[in-house]
Structure 1
Amino acid sequence: MTYAQLETHANRLARALRKLGVKQCDRVALLYENSFYYVIAHFAIFKAGAVSVSLNTETSAQSLAYLLHDCEAKAIFAAGKYLPLLAQTEAQLSHLEHVFTDRDALAFPPGFTRLRAAAIEDLWSQGPGDPPSCEVREADLGSLVYTSGSTAKPKGVMLSHQNLVSNAQAVLQYMQLTPEDRVLCVLPFYYIYGTSLLYTHFAAGGSVVIENRFAYPNVALDTLEKTAASGFAGVPSTFAILLTKSTLRRRVFPSLRYVTQAGGAMAPALQKEVAEAFQPARLFIMYGCTEAAPRLTYLEPEALPLKWGSIGKAVPGVEVIVADERGNRLPPGKTGEIAARGPNIMMGYWKDPQATAEAIRNGWYFTGDLGREDEEGYLFVVGRSKDMIKTAGNSVSAQEIEEVLMELEGVSEAAVIGIPDAILGEGIKVFVVPKPGRALDPEAIKAKLKIRLPVF
């Protein structure tokens, strides 16, 4: 799809939304897997002045009902296979007025009693192709992204158009994206890292290749080769799968210029494997969260061999510090909570002023991640403030133990949790997954941990 086609289709769809009664700041949900349907609808919602609410496609009827009710969605774009799920929740959604789906899905009655489904293709193929006459301001709410976090119910993160645009511009700057760049996207668009690939590469005038078959990792790698993609993005599990379940190490990607990693801490040992497997492509280690739209820091590829495990420094236009409990900046070497401020920081949590006030204090967003800064200003995440294990009077970072475990030969994945202990307060429980064809000796692992870690 060309930019001209995307522009025309999105404008027509936006006009149709306005004609059907979707007003400024109304919420419009998206329940589509990665596809041109998603891309067109997402930008059409923006153009209509409405708020895009991307929903996890792995949702249940109960979760779907909760999210649509919470955001008070007026309309939803949903792929045909999700219509039966939507029909189950219809009675609970009195505010939902419109359902839009692909034309082929209408051949099978979705089972609605009140709602009626309309074909998206009919809406984007008719009428003028210029934008609707509505004003969209930078400060307006543009996207509502639900994140699970540590609470019982998902929290809606409110991101303004300024939040999204400023972050895209920052990434565009430090990655030096150009119109010639083409990124292979295996990350879902309902995930902020996935949609950020759209924003950054569209801002550069580049291309996005959608690949929904990552369940077959070699197929995804075939696409990476055939499309001559210059970029690839993944989370730690993406790279762990490629390293253990594909022929990645035996392949060469002459067109690949950059690889980006975010979405959680990646152990230094895994960073080294990824850098080696994709060389000579440049590996960007990045850090952020939904509340930051999403990028906060990046580690430039040239510093990677000197700063394994670091998340780098703040992206352009953003300040990131390590703070104490009162919000004061801590000196290098001291552990505190990572806090940030900048034009990318969220407006707040949807319908939750208390959570907003707890997260944003004195203009700083407190991430909940514990970190430290070295003498050169490079940041390191050492754990979650709520995930510290309190054992025998010590505060132990589960991530610190996990990183050591990942360096052990034969370990593919590792997780560490605290468990109740009558004497210690909390005991430490370790889970490890061996690499294919390898066996692990628990006693040998314990012995190596004793050498590498303090006595907890």
Structure 2
Amino acid sequence: MRGADTVAELVGRQWGDHRIGLRDEHHTLTHHQVAAGAAARAALLVDLMPPLPGGEPHLGILLDNTPEYPLWLSAAALAGAAVAGINPTRRGTELARDIRHTECRVLVTQRAHLPLLDGLPLPGLRILVTDTDAYRELLAPYGSARPGDARLGPVRPDSRFLLSFTSGSTGAPKAALCSQGRLAAAGASLVRHFGVGPDDVHYVCMPMFHGNAVIADWAPALAAGAGVALRARFSASRFLPDVRLFGATYFTYVGRAVQYLLATPPEPDDRRHPLRLGFGTEAGAVDAARFRERFGVPLVEGYGSSEGGAAIQRTPDTPTGAIGRAAPGDDLAVVDAGTGLACAPARFSPTGRLLNASEAIGELVNRGRSPFEGYWRNPEAEAARLRDGWYWTGDLFYRDADGYLYFAGRTDDRLRVDSENLAAAMIEHILARWDRAAGVAVYAIPDPVAGDQVMAALALRAGEVFDPEEFAAFLAAQEDLGTKMPPRFVRVMTELPLTATNKIHRVALRRASFLCPDPVWWRPAPGAPYEPLTPTAVTALRAAYAHHGRAPSPHHPDQAVSSGSRPARGSEGDDPARG
């Protein structure tokens, strides 16, 4: 099939195709019905937000993975609008900020998420609630629309299409831009790389506000004419039943989801399913091997971001623990951020331990033509990414003598929890409201399996003591504390460590992790009461880290950064019940 220049063209190709194109547990739509539904929504969209100077208008989507999500993505492509995926784990003023920053004129949501919007200052925003009679009545007059009938303006490859939130170490999340042409090209690239065809069915169980689901799952399905099956929120217990029900052959993941799947009770028919491939990030070598052994499905690890500034592709000869080599067209290098010079090739011990970390680890940069299209209304962040003609990823890597790349951490104070990048400063600003605290530092420590966990150091005011129940109640009362932000570990200190320039010594805090002389409180499970971290609990945690080839700190003496494991990189999802 000839390649497409835009997402709109791919949506239009579904017209007249009466094979099953989109399913969930309640709905079944043909490709033709998807195109027709997208055309109707595009016509409604044109009437709701006529064009204004300044390019494509913005539509916000605050939905679970219901059929309305891909229908509205398709509608925006046809109409020439851009979509901001709104994260439902954000809360209060921070959620309102995301919607206002991306200048959304219409927000598509569902009744379950309406409480998140109660009382938020969102002047002039038109809200469509998809699971209501009023919405169905509003859409009904547009039922005869065809793709291309209604447009807000020209639809070109460089038309803005996605605004995907990503966050760094400071400030509010940034909205990375993705054009129709880049998303169409990304889908076509994955089709070629994995041999995706029209008979495949892509199971989308990662949240669609995240680039993982849209770029790596929905876009290649659209490019190949494959079917799409949806799960509203990730569920480990429903994974295999869904795969069998929908005939799914391909899915995307991040590491936490893989962990949840492996935690389900083994069944004799675990290999009875049509899946042939999982594509994602951060599963870890140990869990990827366990997944293939149990389910008979290979997990192909990749590296990329919503920004699209650099991509790494895995090949069949990629060593265990490596991500792969630079994607075609990328000139990737691992450089010393201070000098800009290439770092030395990695050297390994016979057991795979990295021997020359200090000279081999550096920041991954793309020295060639970068597909990075910028951030919405954030020139400072763009300048930080594009320096000296290079795209700086903000991620640390090392490279072996054969050119294979291995992930080694981040260059700033980001935390990556359940595949979401969180800004430590934002969490600190919230925790600093607790009146018992004189100082707060928030930092990442490795999760035993993949990604990070949130740890906070609290310096208490003179005469104060740490009250775990009061602290938990304080956290629960903070409307802008997202579901991924509460600290799992709390270190109680008399004062925070400082550097010579009177900045918080985060390296020292991360190095100590929870293996420190100060009292540490922790939640054994998300949402559980805080309790003292006892020696018995520490022993159990050490065993969990060791089982997955990790350690409580990238800097701790227990840590062995090897070709068989990747340190501190995040994973998708939450508790399986929450998705």
User: Shorter chain as normaliser: what TM range?
Assistant: 0.7 to 0.9
Q: Extract unaligned runs of 5+ from structure 2.
A: 1-28, 347-359, 415-442, 458-495, 500-506, 516-521, 526-535, 552-556, 562-579
Residue 268 of structure 1, aligned match among 262, 285, 288: 285
Residue 429 of structure 1, aligned match among 504, 509, 513: 513
1:285 corresponding residue in structure 2: 301
Are the equivalent residues in 1 in contact too, given 2:201–2:250 (CA < 8 A)? yes
- Alignment map for 1:1-400 (pairs within 5 Å): 1-23=29-51, 24-89=55-120, 92-96=121-125, 98-102=126-130, 104=132, 106=134, 119=137, 121-122=139-140, 124-128=142-146, 130-133=148-151, 134-196=153-215, 197-212=217-232, 214-215=234-235, 217-247=236-266, 251-262=270-281, 265-279=282-296, 281-292=297-308, 296-300=311-315, 302-303=316-317, 307-325=319-337, 326-333=339-346, 334-340=360-366, 345-386=371-412
> Amino acid of the residue matched to residue 207 of structure 1?
G
Name the CA shift for 1:186/1:202 in 2 (closer, same or farther; >3 Å): same
Q: After the TM superposition, which parts of structure 1 deviate over 6 Å for at least 4 consecutive aligned residues?
A: 341-344, 416-419, 431-435, 446-449
Query: How high is the sequence identity, in percent, across the aligned residues?
Result: 23
Are the equivalent residues in 1 in contact too, given 2:365–2:390 (CA < 8 A)? yes
Higher helix proportion (structure 1 or 2): 1
Local SS of the residue matching 1:292: coil
With 249-258 and 163-172 compared, the bigger mean Cα shift is at 249-258
* Deviations, residues 103-161 of structure 1 (Å, cap 9, x unaligned): 5264xxxxxxxxxx785642542445543253112222211111233223111112222
State the alpha-carbon separation in 2 of the partners of residues 25 and 227 from structure 1: 35
State the alpha-carbon separation in 2 of the partners of residues 313 and 74 from structure 1: 41
State the alpha-carbon separation in 2 of the partners of residues 282 and 439 from structure 1: 34
Local SS of the residue matching 1:53: strand
Name the CA shift for 1:72/1:214 in 2 (closer, same or farther; >3 Å): closer
> Amino acid of the residue matched to residue 385 of structure 1?
T
How far is the alpha carbon of 1:240 from its aligned partner? 0.5
- What is the aligned length? 415
2:351 corresponding residue in structure 1: none
State the alpha-carbon separation in 2 of the partners of residues 235 and 179 from structure 1: 25
Name the CA shift for 1:7/1:429 in 2 (closer, same or farther; >3 Å): same
**Alpha-carbon RMSD:** 3.6
Name the CA shift for 1:251/1:343 in 2 (closer, same or farther; >3 Å): farther
Name the CA shift for 1:121/1:266 in 2 (closer, same or farther; >3 Å): same
Local SS of the residue matching 2:93: helix
Name the CA shift for 1:131/1:374 in 2 (closer, same or farther; >3 Å): farther
Local SS of the residue matching 1:30: strand
With 29-38 and 74-83 compared, the bigger mean Cα shift is at 74-83
Local SS of the residue matching 1:152: coil
Local SS of the residue matching 2:512: strand
Name the CA shift for 1:169/1:343 in 2 (closer, same or farther; >3 Å): farther
State the alpha-carbon separation in 1 of the partners of residues 149 and 193 from structure 2: 31
State the alpha-carbon separation in 2 of the partners of residues 446 and 14 from structure 1: 50
How far is the alpha carbon of 1:418 from its aligned partner? 9.7
Q: Name the TM-score, length of structure 2 as normaliser.
A: 0.64
Name the CA shift for 1:71/1:443 in 2 (closer, same or farther; >3 Å): closer
Q: Name the TM-score, length of structure 1 as normaliser.
A: 0.79
State the alpha-carbon separation in 2 of the partners of residues 320 and 258 from structure 1: 27
Name the CA shift for 1:118/1:60 in 2 (closer, same or farther; >3 Å): farther
Name the CA shift for 1:417/1:19 in 2 (closer, same or farther; >3 Å): closer
State the alpha-carbon separation in 1 of the partners of residues 293 and 369 from structure 2: 35
* Deviations, residues 292-315 of structure 1 (Å, cap 9, x unaligned): 18x712323x335xx221111223
Are the equivalent residues in 1 in contact too, given 2:41–2:142 (CA < 8 A)? yes
